[in-house]
Amino acid sequence: MTENEFVRHIPCDKCGSSDGNSLYSDGHTFCFVCHNRVGGDGEIIHNRMSKDVTLIGSAERLQKRNISEKTNHFYRIYRDGNTLRFPYFTSDGVLKGVKIKNKKKIFTYEGTSTDTLFGQHLFPNTGKRIVIYEGELDAASGYEAMAGWPHVSLPHGAASAKKDVQKQIPLLQGYEEIVLFFDADDPGRKAAEEAASILPPGKVKIARMESYKDASDALQANDAEAIRKAIWDAKPYRPDGIIEGKTLQTLVTTPIPPADHDYPFKGLQDKLHGIRYQELTTITSGSGQGKSTFCRQLAVNLLTKGVRVGYLALEESNRRTALGLMSTAVGKALHIGEHDREELEDSFLNTIANWNLYLFDGFGSFDPDIIFNRIEYLACGLECRVVFLDHLSILLSGLDGDERRTIDQTMTRLRSLVERTGIALFLVSHLRRSNNDRTSHEEGGRVSLSQLRGSAGIAQLSDQVIALERNQQSSDERDIATLRIIKNRYSGETGFAGKIKFNLDTSRFTDYETQTENFNPATDF
C-alpha cells in the first residue's frame, strides 16, 4: 500500500458522523463532514474556520491529469505551491470555503461548510442533464471531456453521498436527467444506489466504466471518449424488484411443459393439468377426512417414479409416517394390526429402501424457524423437488400473536421459499368449523375458500387449493370422498373433480366415479 492511500470510511468521534471520516494508510484521518484531522501519531489538528476566505494561487494546466488551464479557471481550481485548492460557493455564488489537497492526498478545509455541490453555482437550476461525480477532479475531468453540460461533484465523497444529494433535490428536480457518475468500486456503487433511491423516479441514470475507476483516471489515460460514452450509455436506475418488460423475452418464450408430474386421480388431473414445480398446493378438509392419507398417496406416486421427496409430518412420529407410506405402496395396512418382522422387512426393502425420501426427525419440536430451515435444506441441500408439510396448524402453534397475522406471515414465508427454491410444496391446512346453519364438514358439507382457517393468506398465496368432502356419518358412503378444486391459478378450472374411495385393507384411494355434477355458479366459483 502506498503512502497516504485511502483505506476505509470510519465514524467521526468529533461530529458523530457514522461514515464521513476517512482513514489513510499513514494512520491519519480526515472527516469530510466537520473537517477535523487527526494525525497518524494521534495528534489532533484543528482547522481554523475563518469567516472570510479568499482565493489564492492561480489556474494552471494539470499536466498529469490532462485538465486544461481553461477548465481550472472555469471551476476556480487553483494551484498554490504544492497544494490544489477547490472553492465552495453558495448557490448564489458567495465563496464560503476552500477544500485543500496536498501532494500526499491530505485534505484540509478553510472557511465554513456549504450545503452545495462543487461547481453548482456555475450552472443553471434547470436543464436537460446534470452529471454528479464523487470528487472535484472527476467533475473537472468530465467537463474537460464534455464541456457544455453541468458537471458537479459531492462535497464529502461517497461516504455522505445520500445526505449531500438529498439536500439538492429541489435543484435536481429541475433537470430532465440526473447522471450519477461515481467511482467504479464497492463504496461508489453503494453510494450511487443509495443516492438514486431518493431522487425523482424516472430521472436517474447511473454511469459505469469498465476500464477505469473514475473520470479522472480515464482522462489521465487520454481516454476522454470513455467518459463521454459512459455518460451517453448511462443506464436508468431501477430499484430491486423492478424490471423492464422488454427484458423478459427469453423468460416467456422458453417452452415450459404443461406439468412436471401427473396426479394419480383422473378428476384432479383433468382440472389441474398436473403437478408443477414452483407451485404451492394446499390440501384442506374437515377433521378426519383423509388429508394425510391423501398426501401420502400423492407422495408414494411420486416416489415410485424416482422423484426426490421431503416429508414433514408434524403431528406424528417418523415410524407412523414411514409405515403409512409403505402401506400405500404395497397395498396393505401395515400400520394396523400385527405384522411379523419378515413382512415389514420385505415391505421396507421394496419401498423406502429404493426411494429418494427424506423425513423430518423433529416430532414435538415446532419452532417455526427450524422447520423453515429444514424445508430449505431439503430443497437446496438434498435437492428434493417435492415437499409435503402436514400440517399448517402445528407450524403456527410455535408462534405468538394474532392468528390471522401469523397465518399471513407464515404463508408469505412459504410462498417466498417456494419461489426461491423452485420446489412443489403440498401444504395441509384445516378448515374453520361450519356455522350452525351449514352441514358440518364431518357430515360431507361443501368446502369453500372462506372456510379456510385464516382464509385470506392461504387463499391468496396458494396456487391450488384441493378440498376433500366426506360424510363420516354415512353408512353407505363414509369411505367415499368428493374432490373439489376451490382455487386453480393455472387454468381457473374449479369445482367438482371426481370422487375417490378409500380401502382400509389396501390403505389406498381409488377413483370411484368421474361423472360431472351439475354446475352450480353460486358455489362452484
**Would the pLDDT of 86 be above 50?**
yes
Share of the chain above pLDDT 90, in %: 56
26-35 — which CB contacts under 8 Å span 24+ positions? 28/4, 28/106, 30/106, 30/107, 30/108, 32/107, 32/155, 32/156, 32/157, 32/159, 32/160, 33/156, 33/160, 35/108, 35/109, 35/113
Instruction: Give the separation between CA 114 and CA 84, rounded to whole angstroms.
Output: 19
**Helices 403-421 and 368-376, interaxial angle, to 10°?**
20
pLDDT on residue 8: 66
**Containing H/E element for 205?**
strand 204-206
Q: Cα separation of 335 and 328, whole Å?
A: 10
Q: Which residues of 320-351 are buried (b: 16+ CB within 10 A; e: fewer)?
A: ebbbbbbbbbbebbbbeeeeeeeeeeebbeeb
Residue 515 binned pLDDT confidence (cut-offs 50, 70, 90):
very low
Looking at residue 451, what is its pLDDT? Answer: 77
Report which DSSP code applies to 275.
B
The most confident of 419-428, 432-441, 451-460, by mean pLDDT: 419-428
* Whole-angstrom distance, CA of residue 16 vs CA of residue 11: 7
pLDDT, tens only, 109-163:
888 888 899 999 999 989 999 999 999 999 999 999 999 899 999 998 888 899 9
219, 145 contact by CB (below 8 A): yes
Residue 263, CA distances (Å) to 267, 275, 487 in order? 9, 7, 16
Q: Where residue 518 falls among pLDDT bands split at 50, 70, 90?
A: low
pLDDT at 31: 72
> Taking the CA atoms of the chain, what radius of gyration do you get in angstroms?
35
Cell of 4: 497516504
Condensed to tens digits (0 to 9), the pLDDT of residues 313-363 reads 988 889 999 999 999 999 999 878 888 899 999 999 999 999 999 999 876
- Cell (9 digits) for 369: 424457524
Residues in contact with 357: Cβ distance below 8 Å, sequence separation at least 6, in sequence order: 299, 303, 309, 311, 325
Q: Quote the pLDDT of residue 399.
A: 60
Which residues, including other chains, have CB under 8 Å from residue 492's CB and lie 6 or more apart? none
Maximum mean pLDDT: which of 101-105, 260-264, 313-317: 260-264
Minimum mean pLDDT range among 78-92, 386-400, 413-427: 386-400
> Predicted confidence band at 222 (pLDDT cuts at 50, 70, 90)?
very high
The three state secondary structure string of 422-463 is CCEEEEEEEECCCCCCCCCCCECCCCCHHHECCHHHHHHHCC
Distance CA 23, CA 330 (A): 71
Per the model's pLDDT, the better-predicted residue between 433 and 504 turns out to be 504
In the predicted model, what is the mean pLDDT of residues 41-66? 69
Mean pLDDT of the chain: 85
Give residue-wise pLDDT tens across range 382-417.
Answer: 999 999 998 788 777 656 667 678 888 888 999 999
- CA–CA distance, 333 with 280 (Å, rounded to integer): 30
Order of strands, sheet of 37-38, starting from the edge strand that comes earlier in the sequence:
6-10, 21-24, 29-31, 37-38, 44-45
Mean of pLDDT values over 242-249:
80
Q: Cell 443553471 belongs to which residue?
A: 124
8 Å CB contact between 188 and 158:
yes
Write the pLDDT tens digit of every residue in 468-485: 998 877 777 889 999 999
55-73 pLDDT per residue, tens: 899 999 999 999 999 999 9
Mean pLDDT of 22-34: 69
Out of 175-179, 224-228, 360-364, least confident range? 360-364
Q: How confident is the model at residue 3 (pLDDT cuts 50, 70, 90)?
A: very low
Q: What is the mean pLDDT of residues 262-276?
A: 95
End-to-end, the C-alpha distance of the chain in Å comes to 70
The string of pLDDT tens digits covering residues 444-464 is 678 877 777 665 778 889 999
Between residues 252 and 271, which one has the greater pLDDT? 271
Q: Which pTM was predicted?
A: 0.57
Residue 510 has pLDDT above 70, yes or no: yes
Burial of 7 (0-12, 13-18, 19+ CB in 10 A): middle
Measured distance CA(450)–CA(229) in Å, rounded:
58
Give yes or no for a contact between 34 and 28, defined as CB atoms under 8 angstroms apart. Answer: no
Measured distance CA(28)–CA(41) in Å, rounded = 8
DSSP string covering 322-353, please? HHHHHHHHHTS-TTSS---HHHHHHHHHHTGG
The predicted pLDDT at position 45 comes to 40
Is the confidence at residue 220, as pLDDT, over 60? yes
- Per-residue pLDDT for 24 more than 90? no
- The reply to whether omega before 391 is within 30° of 0 (cis) is yes
Domains with residue ranges and CATH for the chain: 47-236 (3.40.1360.10), 277-513 (3.40.50.300)
Is the pLDDT reported for residue 82 higher than 70? Answer: yes
More confident: 443 or 332: 332
- What is the pLDDT, as a whole number, of residue 514? 47
202-211: pLDDT as tens digits: 899 999 998 9
| 301 has a pLDDT exceeding 60 | yes
Predicted pLDDT at 77: 96
In this structure, how many other beta carbons lie within 10 angstroms of the beta carbon of residue 73? 13
What percentage of the chain carries pLDDT values higher than 70? 85
Would you state the pLDDT for residue 48?
Answer: 41
